[in-house]
A = this chain, B = another copy of it.
Amino acid sequence: MKIKDIGGEFALIRRIKNKNKIFSKDVAVGIGDDAAVLKYDKNSYMLFTTDMLVENDHFSLKYSSPEQIGMKAIEQNASDIAAMGGLPKYAVVSLALPSDIDAEFVDGLYNGINKKAREYKINIVGGNITHSREIVVNVAMLGFAGKKSLVLRSGAKIGDLIFCSGDVGASTAGLELLRQGKSGKSIKRHLEPRCRLDLAGKLAKIGINSMIDVSDGVASEVKHICDESKAGAVIYADRLPISKNTVNDSKKIKKNPIDLALYGGEDFELVFTANKKKLKQLKKYDVKAIGEVVDKKYGIKLVRNGKKSGIESGFDHFRRIRV
């Protein structure tokens, strides 16, 4: 049976999770959040995550410089650590490279990795190199979160407001511009995405209830929070934070910017939920309320142009068009 027939990537992950066995009581959270949560010491948890970039799927050498690929590999993993309320500290890098690749490619890739490692003070402590037809860059990252700062996907409460940081849809708009050979400001958002390590820790301190990073589109992220929190949600499409640049660029590529925000990916912004009482404190930051957590029995609904409908599932790597 094909993976699409069992329901795609997310169904596959559920299948893997159902067979998973944990042997140690030191695992606070295993498969199913942005990073695993491991007991560390009296005051902090250790966070463990991994993410892979594959040529022609996550990047194309037609569009990205080697440096940009290296930067993205670190941002993508750091974003998972940020979404838990943590700070990254260590990483290891696995490369698979075609045998005829230039050494300069690897130099550029590592320039990007090292640039981001410097910015976030991440220690690159190991890795390995092997051979493949297409370039593969895998990063595994360790981070730490104070016990009071840890935020899970599973903590959303009925009545919480759902927030989104920054603006979303830009990365997918940029990718689509590249594919169509057009120019626009969103392109840089696709090639050089930035995670929200600058913001996540501040949100965690305020005391939010759940959080996830936007790697697969807002719809998908809200669904993950609802699944893990056993809750439902209402998202208001007209509340989604979409920049003027993204709106302009979406006209060029003939896409609805709301679709890009809901079903695009790789914005690496934060979706989180918090009690309504936190609204005033949260207003100081670059975040916007986009919906509300409701009882599970109501499912996940999208209000768009005054009409309420069920939400499509988000971005799925097995449905992705290769660049």
Q: Using a CB–CB distance below 8 Å, which chain A residues touch chain B?
A: 1-6, 9, 12-13, 15-16, 19-24, 26-27, 30-31, 33, 35-36, 38, 41, 48-52, 54, 56-58, 89-90, 92-94, 96-97, 99-104, 106-107, 110, 114, 117-118, 121-134, 136, 138, 140, 142, 317-318, 320, 322
Distance in angstroms from A153 CB to nearest chain B CB is 13
Cross-chain contact B23 with A123 (CB below 8 angstroms): yes
Q: How far is the CA of A66 from the CA of B131 in the complex (A)?
A: 20
Cross-chain contact B57 with A24 (CB below 8 angstroms): no
Distance in angstroms from A228 CB to nearest chain B CB is 14
Sample of 7 A–B contacts (CB below 8 Å) = A2-B102, A13-B129, A20-B124, A21-B114, A22-B123, A23-B121, A58-B130
Q: How far is the CA of A20 from the CA of B58 in the complex (A)?
A: 25
CB nearest neighbor in B for A114: B19
Cross-chain contact B140 with A92 (CB below 8 angstroms): yes
CB nearest neighbor in B for A40: B40
Question: Given A24-B121, A31-B126, A121-B23, are A96 and B54 neighbors across the interface (CB < 8 Å)?
Answer: yes
Distance in angstroms from A43 CB to nearest chain B CB is 13
CB nearest neighbor in B for A126: B36
CB-CB under 8 A from A54, the residues of chain B are 96, 130-132, 136
CB nearest neighbor in B for A140: B140
Q: How far is the CA of A3 from the CA of B132 in the complex (A)?
A: 14
Contact of A57 among B26, B114, B126, B130 (CB under 8 A): B130
